[in-house]
Structure 1
């Protein structure tokens, strides 16, 4: 069989190159991460370059500006928490992207396990982010390739 560029493949079409329509990954976490790093920078800047002493009126108490100048490390800690939140958002975005990719691959492969010949497994080789090659390979060959990929 000659190799074809398809959007869907049956067992009879293999080996085949399949192209899926995958949307780009949501990267909104980058803005949260940048915001966190800005907060960290401001907090450390206040801590290292801020005043050594702060005087305020005992009757009125410190102003908002004086409180901020007195708590540089607390501000930096807030920035670290925002960066940790961005890291969790990134993890969720990557998981969502990979789940969508897996669903599209399963949708593109239009055959069941019963269609795979005895002694063979489905072998998928990614050519780029949206294109992969699928074929039937002997079970030993797939296991050897997986072992080489992990070493």
Structure 2
């Protein structure tokens, strides 16, 4: 392999996540996973409209599928009764009694309000994971794993900036 072939190959590998990200963003905006989300009216906004509503950090997570640093969310220490809602549209996603300390550095829950989320396959890190997002606005929340506590065995691992806490 000569240098030119190496550079072209490396460039293709480097650009693949960007292309896949854009495709996943467009798919998320128009996708409901065939899952019944009740009578939720979808919120559709332009990228510029989202940038006006959200902080730069919230936009990165909710609209660009970013991830905040582990341990950085003030919601990790939140232990009051209440509801966790989507930071993009305030749709309720989690009840406080479902929250637990997963020791991962992100707010984690063993259950979710299922009709308020959508899921999709995420292969961005060359590992197959299940990403979930708000069913109303399409905002990226996090990933769900099969290593959570009973009774579900699930760990809904959420970005704190993708949520707002509403006390009871």
TM-score scaled by structure 1? 0.26
Asked which structure has the greater CA Rg, the reply is: 1
Which structure has more relative contact order (CA 8 Å, sep 6+)? It is: 1
TM-score normalized by structure 2? Answer: 0.24
**Higher normalized helix content (fraction of residues):** 1
Larger strand proportion, structure 1 or 2?
2
